Structure 1
Amino acid sequence: MGTMASVLLSLLLLLGPAVPQETHTGPYSLSFFYTGLSRPRDGFPSFQATAYLNDQDFFHYDSEDRKAIPSYPWSQMEGIEDWEKESELQKAREDIFMVTLKDIMDYYKDKEGSHTFQGMFGCELQSNKSSGAFWRYAYDGRNFIEFNKEIPAWVPQDPAALNTKQKWEAEEVYVLRAKAYLEEECPAMLRGYLQYGKTYLDRQDPPSVSITSHGTPGETQTLKCRADGFYPREIELHWIQGDDTQETESGGDVLPSGNSAYQSWVVLSVSPQGRASDSYSCRVTHSSLAQPLTVLWQGARAEGSQGAREQ
């Protein structure tokens, strides 16, 4: 058995045992995102990995520290993970990951410039049952190889990936273990993590909503409706004139606000004629709100309704 095959088998055995099951609803997800660089630079190590529970950072690992470092609040939850064992697992994954990057570069004779290898894999639970899983890689932004657990097999999406497939399928046990990881072990780990962090992932943080306006009197006015500090991520913001939804000029994206919550905004331009007619409102729909939240803009001032908070 070759060295790479031995490492692959050892890695799969490190993926962890099953844990007791509990009833959950969800959906909840556990996912990993890996990046390898052939030429690391300041602030960007040669390898780094980030794990997520749903959309929340769970832990980070890179080739400089070589430690799995949990993010807040998971770092405060004693017993959620054996971080020394997790660090060893990530070291093993790093070794395989960087060898694969070198193999691809050798295949294409890519000796010049910087090249990137990326991987992502994970699983999802819905009502305590596995409802989705994925495992795929990309080279320099192009699809490279993907695991199909129904076959099961690694499916090449790049000429160089044929060599990778041969290494990763050197013996049938490696394919079966990869399938078992996606269908059994990853969901089992996710159930274990939910025993500690389900309340945090299920939290409902309402948005703080404000309206600002800019413009010269007698000319077009720019209105901005902003929602801050909400969780979960899904939210809808609309400008309303009377009973009609207005087409906004910009905004609508949902971005992290830096405190495990999110922010979003929508911008609307209002002509002097528009300001003289019906009033304008910003309507916000979020799962934390019993009903949509409406903030009314009248002239130069915004009046909140249904619990709106001005900033």
Structure 2
Amino acid sequence: MGTMVPVLLPLLLLLGPAVPQETQAGPYTLSFLYTGLSRPRKGFPSFQAMAYLNDQPFFRYESEGRKAEPLGPWSQVEGMEDWEKESELQKAREDIFLVTLRDIMDYYKDREGSHIFQGRFGCELRNNESHAAFWRYAYDGQDFIEFNKEIPAWVALDPAAVNTKLKWEAEAVYVQRAKAYLEEECPGMLRRYLRHGRVHLDRQDPPSVSVTSHVAPGQNRTLKCLAYDFYPRGIDLRWTSADGAQETESGDILPSGNGYYQSWVVVGVPPQDRAPHSCHVEHISLAQPLTVPWAGPQ
């Protein structure tokens, strides 16, 4: 079995200091997703780091180019980050992360297989206060280890993670630095980013809404209300009948891939029901709720 490299402290030392700034109410989030592959292929590099602000892609780093690059509107914001310095930082994290992946594979005596190691960590600000934080890893899609800042301690969620926990907690500074990063340094970084780019996170774009129907022989008619190209994320969709009764509520809210969100809600209508039905839409960008009717089968 290989030796598990104590990845935690080098990562923590590379994360950088906090820079306090005032923010508005929020919520605002900063999160990072690291992905390492044991068998990279075209389009899927051995290591990728993605940073997100409020679920919006902020910057990307990949092992092929080894360069951190801002994404979307953030590429137009001057002084938000030193991208050369960030690239060097991500190179060091890449090396540590992939060594950890190989060490886990050694534990399971499988250096030839195809495996994936992922880490996700971040924090949230509400009313300028740190509200939530997380730091966890997964191996081959299964929970591996996570940090509980209330204990504080690393919690092993996989047999191989017991060795990782012992390595990372061999020195008390590992645990204290992890706690400090989640409670102080990450919120500080988020405040600094908000100072430069909050306008992009505070924008309000109203949803476009479409109502469609589909019916199969011998089945209920299915009505679908789709809201798309809206920002920020929160939205309320529901179908109502002619008497105003609420029939359904909105389901998942998903990124559209273009910096906006989409959501939809469906309801089944019996063939004999020809009464009007309406899709009720509420979003922060709308001065008043929007009602889009479905008048019945044509």
Asked if these proteins are the same fold (TM beyond 0.5), I'd say: yes
1:131 is the counterpart of 2:128: no
Give the alignment of 1:6-21 within 5 angstroms: 9-21=9-21
Name which of structure 1's ranges 110-119 and 218-227 shifts more when overlaid on structure 2.
218-227
| Partner of residue 163, structure 1 | 163
Answer whether contact 2:221 2:268 (CA < 8 A) is retained.
Answer: yes
**2:105 matched to which residue of 1?**
105
Structure 1 CA distance for aligned equivalents of residues 38 and 218 of structure 2? 58
Q: Which residue does the alignment assign to 2:247?
A: 246
* Matched-pair contact (CA < 8 Å) for 2:29–2:190: yes
Which letter does structure 1 place at the counterpart of 2:212?
T
Aligned mates of 1:92, 1:170 — CA distance in 2: 22
What residue identity is the alignment partner of 1:266? Answer: V
Measured after TM superposition, the shift of residue 84 of structure 1 is 1.1
Summarize the Cα distance change of 1:269–1:155 in structure 2 as closer, same or farther, 3 Å threshold: closer
Give the residue type in structure 2 aligned to 1:260: G
Segment drifting more, 145-154 vs 28-37: 145-154
Relative distance call for 1:152 and 1:258 in structure 2 (3 A) is closer
SS in 2 for 1:246: coil
Q: Can you give the 5+ residue segments of structure 1 that lack an aligned partner in the other structure?
A: 302-311
Deviations 1:171-224 (A, max 9, x none): 332322222211111110000001112221122111112223445999965433
Percent identity among equivalent residues?
72
How far is 1:64 from its partner?
Answer: 0.9
Structure scoring higher RCO (CA < 8 A, sep ≥ 6) equals 2
Residue 134 (structure 1) shift? 1.1
Q: Secondary structure at the match of 1:173?
A: helix
Q: Secondary structure at the match of 1:237?
A: strand
- The separation in 2 between residues aligned to 1:299 and 1:8, in whole angstroms, is 60
Q: Distance in 2 between matches of 1:264 and 1:101?
A: 36
Paired residues of 1:100 and 1:164 also in contact (CA < 8 A): no
Aligned residues: 295
Q: For residue 279 of structure 1, what is the aligned residue in structure 2?
A: 276
Q: TM-score, normalised by structure 1?
A: 0.86
Once the two structures are superposed, the pairs formed by residues 105-254 of structure 1 within 5 Å of their partners are 105-214=105-214, 221-242=221-242, 243-247=244-248, 252-254=251-253
Amino acid at match of 1:293: L
Give the match's secondary structure for 1:122: strand
1:161 and 1:113 map into 2 onto residues whose CA distance is 19
RMSD: 2.7
Does residue 270 in structure 1 map to residue 269 in structure 2? Answer: yes
Q: What SS is found at the alignment partner of 2:251?
A: strand
2:288 corresponds in structure 1 to 291
Q: Deviations over 1:39-75 (max 9, x none)?
A: 1122111111111111111111111111111111111
Instruction: Name which of structure 1's ranges 34-43 and 165-174 shifts more when overlaid on structure 2.
Output: 165-174
2:38–2:101 contact (8 Å) kept in structure 1 = yes
| Paired residue type of 1:281 | S
Q: How much does 1:162 deviate?
A: 2.4
Provide Cα deviations, 1:79-102, integer angstroms capped at 9, x if missing partner: 001111111111111111111111
AA partner of residue 25 (structure 2) = T
Aligned to 1:32: 32
After alignment, is 186-195 or 230-239 more displaced?
A: 230-239
Q: Structure 2 regions of 5+ residues with no counterpart? A: none
Give, in angstroms, the shift of residue 128 of structure 1. 0.9
